[in-house]
Structures are given as structure tokens and as C-alpha cells.
Chain A
């Protein structure tokens, strides 16, 4: 058997700490092999994007030996994607900014090597297939990267099928990329970067848009590639339960892009786990025993189940009533129905999780409930607050009454912004309250209004950004703003499409806190998600498959026996942190020290 090379942390403060923390583990790292260059070497590496005061990365110092898998951990905005871009030479050769220290891939200094040369060595896979697949046909897309580098046609003819074979897409050569499922598209993206035979593979949240089976299939491919040990792999991933088993080493970054730790994955101790927990990032379940407080609990912990949950069943009134609903997605030419035969109810104060594979019809259903798509058959009825008998058809409401009844948080919050500043964005819902149209209504009690808007902004941690254009906010800030926009007067029904997409643990918890509060006031919530970790935070689960309702019941029942085959991915993806391991006192102390909440909540 081939001996696995071992990671070596350069002597540095983080490494020092790690040694102390892991004392007694009885394992020692081998000295640097001496022979051969490391696959990756950073020495005081830092980067600031042009126009940003804050550095995206600072003081990275580590060595990764060839053939190993490095998992990069850190909260949102900690520079994980920036590191991935630097490894591919996009930073600094395509994106402008300021560079510190050194970073080398094999024997190539990134700062000195043109992106063209680095690109042959390094394959980078991004989050969303939509923007990284270039050509319309599978084989053309794999060939694209080779054509760019002037490969002879004969060689491409050999390399393309090999790359497709390696990701399990043999036979897909002539398919149109648009007809592939999300998981297949991500595997194609991996084939794209494999074709030029790079030595280093970098994955930046490759599974973010995928359902659990797609996620496991994609990670399984990455695992296979990694176990062949022909490539060195750097993996950025939020779904740690599935990713951690692949990792040989971990790099932990804090919210300011500084290196907190670099260690072999199996030698991570309480100290590192606590540091990671303190940043607000996701913490692998396997480490959670070492951390205390919030981090030890998944955000979807059962403690979030609605207080009213138990007596909800009969007492609370039905707010959303869907009967035998069928919707033909306009995108399908009105011919195929994206969802059909759906019947369910949502009661006041109830949070219902909506799950299903990619393309099952979750988003379509939300649009129909919001009255934005007309049913092809059946009906959607919503009950306005305070009304006993009246049930309204949302598709027939004028924009203003509709807005008072339903809110929808889109996966991309940006598409829903209506204000030119953050404050205006929140005020937009305030104007709705008074019912008066824009400028005329502004004179009446305008001041009282402004203060309440500012109060809302304060609560959402956006006060300092009140006068900023909403489009300039970070992804997490935008998501908070989209919720803040609904806060002045929460609608009776709130629909959420992937509300925690791309958020770290702390951000997810913050969103759920807000939702808890609204729910306590009787809001009915329907939440579509790919992340089964959120399910325990719901009162009920609706599961879709192919546009049909295949499950309607409690989260526990869903997780015990998911209506999908194979069921394992759905259950495993929901694995929440267990508290099996007692938290050592030191770790608890460390956690308390590092977990001081930062103003950057999401």
C-alpha cells in the first residue's frame, strides 16, 4: 500500500496552539518529507480586493503534501472562495487587488505565474452550474477548456471521453447540458476541470444547489478522485458531515480571513473545534461534542418546534388551503404540469418544511401559493388575518392587498429589492401598512415611520447600512434585508425559497430566530429547502416528488422513513450535532471566549 503523506504545519502560532491542544493524543506528525515540493505552500499569504479596506485573507501559512485532501472551514466571508480563486491564479491575475506573502502551487509561485500556466495545473469547480457550463452540449463543454489552451484535436478526442468516464457520465457526450439534473451538471463541471489533467483540484461549495442524493453523488465522485491520490484536493464545503470523512487536513479561517488552525483532520482537538465554533461557521457533528453552547446544537434543533405545536392541530385556523392544485410552469410551455394533485393546509402559527429533489416543483408551488402562477386545476385559498370565513384567491388580488397577505423571500434576494437604499427598502413595506401610495402618504406621521424603520434596521444589524444601496450588500446582509423588509408588518403567510442558502451556522440560526418570532405571532410559514438539517425546526414536513405530494407528516416521521429511495442520503444529510461527547471544561472556556457574537450576524 502506498504510504499516505502527512500534512505539516509550518511553525506558526496556530500550529503551536494545535500542538498544545492535541497533546496527549499520542500521535506525532512526520517531519517534512524533504524530498519533493509540497503540493501547496502558503507563507504569510494575504489578499485584499481592490477598493476594500478589509483583507479577504491574512497571514495564511501552511504546507499541503501531494495527494492529500484539504477541507477549508470558516464562516461566511472568511475568504474561502478567495483562497480557491488564488489557487487557480484568478487572484491576482484576473481580479485586481493587493497581495502579501507567498503562495505556491507545486513549484509555481502564484504571483509570478500567468493564470494560463496555473490553469493547466489547477482545476477549479464553482458553486453554480448555470454560470460555469459554457457550451450547450456535454462533450463540447468538456472540450472548451482544452480548446482554450490550443490542444490538438486528436488529443482532445481522447481526453474528453476519459474525463466523462471519470465522473460517471460516459455516454452523455451528445446530451444537451440544459437537460442534465443539477447533480449531473456538477459532475460535468468536474469533468470539465479534469480533462486538462490538473494536479490540484479545487472545489468551492460544489454541492450548494443540490438535493441530498445529488450532494452525496457529487461528493462520492470527489472522494473517488481523492482516494486515487493522483490529485491534491482542496475542498470548500458547508455540508460537513459528508465532506469531513474525505478530508486529510483541515484549514480553519476566522471571519476576518485569518488562519485559526491547520491540522490533520484526524488530529483535530477540542481547541480547533472550539475556535471554529466561535466563528459562527458550521461545525462537523463529529466535533460538536467538544464545543459548548449554540455551536453544539444544530440550528434546526428540536427546541425550535413551535410552542403552540402540540395544540395546533385542531385549534388554530387554516390560513393556507390548497385543494387538488395543478400548475403548469410557464417555462414548460404550459404543457407539462410542474405540480399536480396537491392537497394540504397550513395553519396559523405553523411552520411547514417543503422538501424534494431538484425539479420536484417546490419553487413552482410557492409561486402558486403566492398567487403569482395561475393554477391549471384546483385552487389556492388564503385567509386574511382577522377574517373568519373569507378565503381569498391570491391570483385575483391586486398587488397591494396581495402584499399584505403574502410575503415571499426568493432564493436570490436581490431580485426582490424595490428600494434605492436599505432604509427605503424597509419603508416600502411601511407604506403598505398605511395603504397610502408613495409621496402623498409620506407627509402623514412620516417621522414616526422613519424611527420605526430605523428600529427594524437596528434589530436586523443593518443600522449602519441604512443609506447604502441594497445591491451593495453582501449575500448574508441581503438575505437579512429581505426579511427586514417584511418586518414592519409581517404578512399572514410567509413563503421562503431556500432561505438559508449559502449561510453559515450563525446566519442560519439568525434567520430561524426571526422566523420563530413571526411564527409566535401566528404567521403561517412554508419553507422550501434542500437542507434537511432545518427540518427539526419545522412543525410539519411536506415532501414532493415529481410534482406530487408524497409525504405530509411530522419531521421525525419524515426522517425516520423518507419517502425517497434510496432514503439514506436524506437521513444522513439531516444528521445534527450530537452531544454524545462530554464537552471538556477547557473547550467550553475557549468557546465562551471566542463565541462573542460579532455584529456581522449573517
Chain B
């Protein structure tokens, strides 16, 4: 075994800063991937355990049910606001869809399809901001994007048999819910998370 090649003295003893700005940029660190995956699963688990919220809503019909759709879109806004990487919205929403599929959700494989549409909608909005805007407006618009994706999916797959005015109402309610719940509430949630200091390792600091 040869002994260590001696490092330069300045290297050896001077302070060296590592990883400055590693969280910025488009590269996904392991922690970015895992945090998005785990948060999306956490959302899925909570919404599953929270089922009493919509079990009675679905009895009131699709319009009432679509009031809470925004909740399902939260990962698509919250996760990108945390890791700030291209693809985060899409990845988060697909994972969320997988979770609800694994937990025996209503719609099965079709949730993946809707996950792609919803995540894709939010992703487009963040991409449009060149992945540089992460404020409340961007969040609300991302919620809007996800809501539009959701509305496109639902009006063509689930609610096709309903007349146009009914579908318009559903789409409208879904989009408004997406903006308010996923967008605005999602942004507020991330702000609250920041205050706790758990987001220190991510862009935007804590």
C-alpha cells in the first residue's frame, strides 16, 4: 500500500468550503428525489386516512366532489416549490397517483393518466417561469395548470356522459379549487414548512 499523496499544505489546513450552491441548478441530488417521493407518499397517505372528508361529499354529486380536487393536486405545487427542479411537478404527481393506486383508489391505472395530466399542467407553468419564479403567483398559476390538466382528464374520462353545462361547472369548480387549495394553500404550507427549518438543505433556505 502506498502512502497518501501529500495534499498541498493550503488544502490540508486552510478551511475549504464544500457544496456551496449544490442545491441550486437542475441536477437532482438523492435528497431531492427522495424528499419529493416521500412527501408525495405522505400526502397520499394523509388523504387516504382523511377519507371521511369526501365520502359524504361524493354523495352530493360530482360538482361538490370537485371542490376538494385541489387537495389531490397539492404535491404538484408543494414539491416543486421545495426542490425547485425541472420535472418536480410531474414526478410528484405521478408518485401521488401511484400511491392512491396502491392504496386501492377509485380509478386504478387511470390515475396515472390523470397524474401525468395534472403534474404536466403544473410543470408547464413552472417551465414557463424558466424554473425561476417560485412566489405565490407562480404557485397559484401552477395550481391553475394542474387544475386544467385535471379538468381535461375528468371531463373526457369520468364525466363525459354529463351535459356540457354540467361539465363546465365541474371543470370550473375543479380549477378554482386547484388554484385555491393546491396553489395558495400549497404555497402557505411551504412557507410554514420553511419556518420550521426543515427546508434548510433546499433552495430558498429556511
Contacts and interface: CB of A to CB of B under 8 A. Distances in A.
Contacts of B200: 51
B18 to A, nearest CB: 4
A101 B9 CA distance: 9
B2 A98 contact: no
A10 interface: no
A104 B4 contact: yes
B197 A93 contact: no
Contact of B22 (A96, A99, A111, A420): A96
A44 interface: yes
A106 B19 contact: no
Contacts of A99: 15-18
Interface residues of A, number: 29
Nearest to A420: B195
B1 A98 contact: no
Given A36-B1, A102-B12, A97 B18 contact: yes
A109 B4 contact: yes
B163 interface: no
B198 interface: yes
Interface in A76-118: 92-102, 104, 106-109, 111-112
B161 interface: no
Contacts of A109: 4-5, 7
Interface string A304-323: 00000000000000000000
Question: What bracket does the count of chain B residues touching chain A fall in?
Answer: 20 to 34
Given A96-B19, A471-B196, A41 B4 contact: yes
Nearest to A95: B19
Interface string B123-138: 0000000000000000
Contact of A106 (B1, B5, B198): B1
A50 interface: yes
Contact of A100 (B4, B13, B29, B31): B13
B156 interface: no
B33 to A, nearest CB: 13
A472 interface: yes
A36 B17 CA distance: 31
A96 B18 contact: yes
A104 to B, nearest CB: 5
A37 B16 contact: no
B203 to A, nearest CB: 12
A97 to B, nearest CB: 6
Given A97-B18, A469-B196, A44 B13 contact: yes
Contacts of A41: 4
A69 to B, nearest CB: 20
Top 3 A-B pairs ranked by shortest CB distance?
Answer: A96-B19, A92-B18, A471-B196
Given A37-B3, A102-B13, A107-B4, 12 more contacts: A41-B4, A44-B12, A92-B18, A95-B19, A96-B22, A97-B17, A98-B15, A100-B16, A108-B4, A109-B4, A112-B11, A420-B195
29 contacts: A37-B2, A44-B13, A51-B200, A92-B18, A93-B18, A93-B19, A94-B29, A94-B30, A94-B31, A96-B18, A96-B19, A96-B22, A96-B201, A98-B17, A100-B13, A100-B14, A100-B16, A101-B12, A101-B13, A102-B12, A104-B4, A107-B2, A107-B5, A109-B4, A109-B7, A112-B11, A469-B195, A469-B196, A472-B197
Interface of A: 36-37, 41, 43-44, 50-51, 92-102, 104, 106-109, 111-112, 420, 469, 471-472
